[in-house]
Amino acid sequence: MLLQAEHLYRYYGKHCAVNDVSFTLTRGEVLGFLGPNGAGKTTTMQMLCGVLAPSAGQIKINGIDLLAQPVTAKRYLGYLPDTPPLYRELTVDEFLTYSAQLHGVTKKDTHHAVKQAQERCGLTAVSKRLIANLSKGFQQRVGIAQAILHYPEVIVLDEPTVGLDPLQISEIRALIRELGRDHGVILSTHRLSEVQESCSHVQIIHQGQLILNETIVALKLMMDTGIVQITTRLAPNISQLSALAGVNSIEKISENCIRIHYSVANNPTQRLTETIIAAGWELQELAPVKKSMEAVFISLIRDNES
């Protein structure tokens, strides 16, 4: 187990920002950490990185207690804040060499560590250039390189694709997936599509509590079923369709178009088709609707608030 967070609490006065949060991270996992503004996501990330002490609970990095042995535990941690900590007046080589010294890499190992981090992050061709003259995408790559050059067990990336263009986003996502093969990665992001593209697991925090801890495969099962959109020439009788077995609710899109939310275990599609034809409403379209990650996220938040 690369990271263990057990029963984390964080209070600001009487306000509980993080309320009994527990989870683990193993090698080969890329964990997407999501939450609306004010949910406790940033506070949790700061505790995991040793920037903020929890009011209660325990954090272990590679089996070492972060509170009891912070210097030792942080040797196994690489961190990229949402604003990369770059010295823009230095070249890529100079900055990464300096960062290696800060991470405690020995002098004889520094050259190899810097070279390897540059190769992994696609920085070899720009190693002699000033950071100030690099594009935003390359600067993000430099930020990731400084987080991984001491080959940490756990890598924490906070909003690594903010402000990037679509090509740069695609390249950074590919890099994150590659890092996930050899490390444990926590990816904090507001981009729900990023979780789908880069992560193997996802957690959602709301009002200081974890309300979802799932694999991406399980989450996709939640997203890929459960809604069908129907269009008819004549307006259907919604009450009559609502009475059919398996129909949970009906959302009226227009006079002749509805979306039916149904039980996956009792798919009513055939019953719906037969009823519409028998009633003479003239079926024009019947199409499944895939739930977006955004829809699942909003649904979970609303269910937690109700």
Residue 262 has pLDDT above 80, yes or no: yes
Residue 195 has pLDDT above 60, yes or no: yes
Burial class (CB within 10 angstroms; exposed 0-12, middle 13-18, buried 19+) of 294: exposed
CB atoms within 10 A of CB 1: 12
Residues 26 and 180 sit within 8 Å (Cβ to Cβ): no
Residue 193 has pLDDT above 70, yes or no: yes
Nearest Cα neighbor of 165 from 141, 193, 135 is 135
Q: Classify the phi-psi angles of 258: left when phi > 0, otherwise alpha if psi is within -120 to 50, otherwise beta.
A: beta
Residue 221 has pLDDT above 90, yes or no: no
Name the segment(s) of the chain with CATH classification 3.40.50.300. 3-221
Which is higher by pLDDT, 38 or 1?
Answer: 1
**Residue 196 DSSP SS3:** helix
Q: What is the pLDDT of residue 171?
A: 87
**Residue 109 DSSP SS3:** helix
Q: State how far the Cα of 286 lies from the Cα of 267, in Å rounded to an integer.
A: 13
Band of pLDDT at residue 304, cut at 50, 70 and 90 = low
Residues of the chain with pLDDT > 70, as a percent, come to 92
Average pLDDT of the residues of the chain: 90
pLDDT tens per residue across span 278-296: 999 999 999 988 766 666 6
Q: State how far the Cα of 75 lies from the Cα of 70, in Å rounded to an integer.
A: 9
Residue 20 has pLDDT above 60, yes or no: yes
Name the segment(s) of the chain with CATH classification 3.30.70.100. 225-289
Structure tokens at 218: 């399980």
CA 220, 226, 230, 235: dihedral to nearest 10 degrees? -140
Mean pLDDT of 78-106: 94
Assessment of whether the complete model's pTM goes beyond 0.85: no
Residue 216 has pLDDT above 60, yes or no: yes
Residue 224 has pLDDT above 60, yes or no: no
Mean pLDDT of 36-65: 92
Q: Which CATH class is domain 3-221?
A: alpha beta
Mean pLDDT of 40-51: 91
Q: Which CATH class is domain 225-289?
A: alpha beta
- Per-residue DSSP letter, 289: -
pLDDT tens per residue across span 144-165: 999 999 999 999 998 888 778 8
Kindly give, in sequence order, each residue whose CB lies less than 8 Å from that of residue 217, ignoring residues fewer than 6 positions away: none
